[in-house]
Each structure stands twice: as C-alpha cells, then as structure tokens.
C-alpha cells in the first residue's frame, strides 16, 4: 500500500511539474560566429504595430536561451543581435523554438517550431528565390540593352512581369492560408501600399481573417486606409484641402479649380518628380489658357523651404503651389493616400476625380482628349 501511495505521489508530482512547464515555452539556439557576451534583444510587435524590447539574451559558448510565458496575445516578434542591421522574425506560438543565427549572413538564419514559424520559413525562402530571379533578370536586361538586343529586352521585361505576378499570387496565398496570424495583416498592408493587391482583394482577404486578427489595430488601420482609398479613387469627389503657399498665405483646392485641375504631389528631393516636371510644364503651357489648372503639393521637409522654392523656379513650375513642409506626414498626402511620388489626380470642374497618376505621353494624350478641341 505504501508503495502504491509513493508511486501515486511521484506521478502526481511529475504531472504537476509538467503542468507548470506547459505555462511556458523556450527559445534556444546556436549563434555561429558571435563572441561570448554578445547581446540579443528580443522585440515584440503587438497589435498596435509598435516594437518593444521584452528581453535581452546573452550568447555564451555559441548558444543562447530564453523562457517566456505562454499567451494568447497576437504578436510578431523578432531578435536583433547587438550591432546587426538585420532582424530574425519569429512567431510566439506557445511551442518551443529552435534557432540558428549566422553572423556572416543573419538573413539566412533559421527558426523552427510551430506551424506558422515553419510556414514563414518556407515563405522567406521562396521570396529570396524570387528576389534572386529578379536580380538575374536585371543583369540580363542591362546586358541586352548594352548590346541593343531589343527582342531580348522585350522578352526579359515580359519574363519579369510574369515573375512579379507569380510572386504576388504566392503572397496572397500565404495571407489566405495564415489568416490567424498578425503577420498576414502586416503583409497585406504592405501589399496594398505597394499596389500589389487591390482594395477589393484586400477586403476579401480580411473577411477570412480570424476574429482576433480582424479585430487587431493593424487590420483596423488597413480598413481605414481602404476606406480612404475609396474616397480618392476615380469617380470620387476630391477632398478639399488648404495649405500655405510659398508666400505664407493659405490656399484651398476649391479656390483654384479650373475646367480641369491636376493635383500634383511632388518634392524637390524626388528625382522622378523632377524628371517628370518638364513634361507637366509643357502640358500646362499648352492647355492652361483652355482651362487647365495645376496645384502642386510638395512633400519637402521642415526647414527646407528654400529648396522647395528653388526647385519651383528651376523647373519653371508657373502654377499654384502649397506645402506644409511635413515630408511623408503631410496631412494632404495622407488624405489622398499618397505613398509614393510623383502622384497626380485629375479633376473635372466639379472636383470629381476622373483619372490618376498620368505621366509622360499619357498625361498629354488625356488632356488633349479633354481640351484639345477647345
């Protein structure tokens, strides 16, 4: 009887010990090429999309380890080795994780343990493969251009278009298959901002997110962006705005509407904008008397007003100009969901958006079609 009781107590203690351990998971790994004492900072990116250091590990004997409480909280975490530029992303899935960090190639580091970590490892490997193919296309394209082989240039361009389409399809598939991960919402946000996914596609993928991911701040911010994008899409009414002119006076969009009006987002530091400016000047000079107005919104930085004004003069931009000098934080750019410049919006006389992002010959052809016969 005593033996039975002793055995029962031993089993109970073991079960109790296992239950205690089940409240935690460990991160352990090898750090190849690092000196002893090197610090590893553990970051957590929560639902508010803000990274915060939650732990500091130390490499000893080429190894590191940390223990963390299990949680149902959504997060994307990453390790940053002291002095390194790259990060190693992982997902706390309440399972023990094994990592291998390589000093000579941190990007090649590996994380295993848990369904999402394994899926992400496959994802990053596939994306690196796409990037390598795009780099190879670029090198072949440059060689073909140097040899003036126009047939090969066209073939490489088409091959790259097909490759990018395949990559985007793969990203969308990853999002669809991992809708219970905060990273899916982050990746979708990035794809929308890069115009790799349409608002309609994004809304459909969001509808398949788990309730926690759908309710996260990342997803809510994306939904607000999608709503804003709809407001400034073709067919919508251009939101009115006012901002300081070079002379310091406030000027509103509604004050400068012509028969047709171009809202032109640019900056003195933006080389593609400066290259496009001569084309815009030519179109303006040709069609201004027929009813074309332009208001340029500069995303120049605070304290660089002189550069803005000098660029206006140098590029002969003889039309309306405004700027809050707030760089990418400019409220007008945010209202119009501008994430890259140059960006243009073409309005009719009522302020309705009838076209977007016309450049080069496309801009002149569109304006000629509207005002050429007048």
Q: Are residues 82 and 136 in the same domain?
A: no
Q: What is the pLDDT of residues 261-307, one digit of tens each?
A: 999 999 999 999 999 999 999 999 999 999 999 999 999 999 999 99
Give domain status of residue 325, yes or no: yes
Q: Is the pLDDT of residue 9 over 60?
A: no
Give domain status of residue 148, yes or no: yes
Long-range contacts, stretch 133-142, CB < 8 angstroms, 24+ apart: 133/163, 134/160, 134/163, 134/164, 137/163
Q: What is the pTM of this model?
A: 0.70
Give domain status of residue 237, yes or no: no
pLDDT of residue 4: 37
- The rounded distance, in Å, linking the Cα atoms of 174 and 178 is 6
Q: What is the pLDDT of residues 16-26, one digit of tens each?
A: 444 445 789 99
Nearest to 28 by CA among 85, 96, 106: 96
Q: Are residues 255 and 350 in the same domain?
A: yes
The burial of 112, by beta-carbon neighbours within 10 Å (0-12 exposed, 13-18 middle, 19 or more buried), is given as middle
Give domain status of residue 10, yes or no: no
- The rounded distance, in Å, linking the Cα atoms of 159 and 293 is 40
Give domain status of residue 47, yes or no: yes
Chosen domain end from 199, 231, 263:
231
CATH label of the domain that carries residue 285: 3.40.30.10
Q: Are residues 352 and 249 in the same domain?
A: yes
Q: Are residues 273 and 217 in the same domain?
A: no
- The rounded distance, in Å, linking the Cα atoms of 274 and 3 is 88
Q: Is the pLDDT of residue 357 over 50?
A: yes
Average pLDDT, the chain: 90
Give domain status of residue 317, yes or no: yes
- The rounded distance, in Å, linking the Cα atoms of 60 and 70 is 25
Give domain status of residue 310, yes or no: yes
Q: Are residues 298 and 349 in the same domain?
A: yes
Q: Are residues 40 and 68 in the same domain?
A: yes
User: Considering its fold, how many domains does the chain have in total?
Assistant: 3
Q: What is the pLDDT of residues 54-110, one digit of tens each?
A: 999 999 999 999 999 998 888 889 999 998 888 999 999 889 999 999 998 888 899
Q: Are residues 155 and 215 in the same domain?
A: yes
Q: Are residues 148 and 89 in the same domain?
A: no
Q: Are residues 165 and 281 in the same domain?
A: no
Q: Are residues 227 and 147 in the same domain?
A: yes
Question: What residues make up the domain containing 306?
Answer: 242-371
Chosen domain end from 106, 137, 156:
106
Give domain status of residue 11, yes or no: no
CATH label of the domain that carries residue 101: 2.60.40.2190
Chosen domain end from 73, 106, 139:
106
Q: Are residues 89 and 120 in the same domain?
A: no
């Amino acid at each position: 009887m005593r033996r039975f009781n002793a055995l029962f107590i031993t089993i109970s203690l073991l079960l109790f010990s296992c239950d205690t351990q089940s409240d935690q998971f460990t991160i352990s790994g090898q750090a190849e090429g690092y000196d002893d004492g090197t610090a590893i900072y553990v970051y957590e990116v929560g639902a508010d999309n803000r990274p915060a250091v939650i732990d500091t590990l130390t490499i000893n004997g080429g190894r590191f380890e940390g223990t963390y409480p299990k949680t149902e909280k959504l997060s994307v975490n990453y390790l940053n080795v002291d002095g390194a530029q790259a990060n190693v992303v992982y997902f706390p899935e309440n399972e023990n994780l094994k990592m291998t960090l390589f000093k000579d190639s941190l990007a090649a580091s590996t994380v295993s343990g848990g369904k999402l970590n394994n899926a992400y490892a496959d994802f990053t490997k596939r994306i690196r493969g796409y990037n390598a193919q795009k780099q190879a296309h670029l090198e072949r394209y440059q060689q073909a251009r140097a040899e003036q082989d126009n047939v090969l240039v066209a073939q490489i361009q088409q091959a790259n278009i097909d490759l990018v389409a395949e990559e985007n399809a793969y990203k969308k598939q990853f999002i669809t298959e991992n809708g219970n991960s905060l990273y899916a919402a982050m990746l979708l946000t990035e794809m929308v901002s890069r115009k790799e996914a349409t608002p309609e596609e994004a809304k459909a993928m969001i509808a398949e997110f788990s309730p926690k991911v759908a309710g996260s701040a990342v997803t809510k911010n994306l939904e607000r962006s999608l709503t804003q994008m709809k407001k400034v899409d073709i067919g919508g009414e251009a939101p009115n705005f006012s901002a300081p002119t070079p002379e310091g006076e406030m000027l509103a969009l509604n004050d400068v509407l012509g028969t047709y009006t171009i809202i032109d987002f640019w900056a003195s530091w933006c080389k593609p904008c400066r290259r496009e400016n001569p084309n815009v000047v030519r179109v303006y000079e040709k069609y201004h008397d027929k009813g074309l107005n332009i208001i340029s919104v500069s995303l120049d930085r605070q304290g660089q007003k002189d550069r803005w004004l000098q660029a206006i003069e140098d590029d002969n931009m003889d039309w309306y100009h405004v700027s809050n000098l707030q760089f990418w934080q400019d409220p007008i750019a945010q209202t119009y969901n501008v994430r890259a410049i140059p960006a243009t919006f073409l309005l009719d006389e009522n302020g309705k958006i009838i076209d977007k992002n016309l450049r080069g010959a496309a801009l002149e052809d569109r304006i000629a079609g509207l005002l050429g016969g007048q």
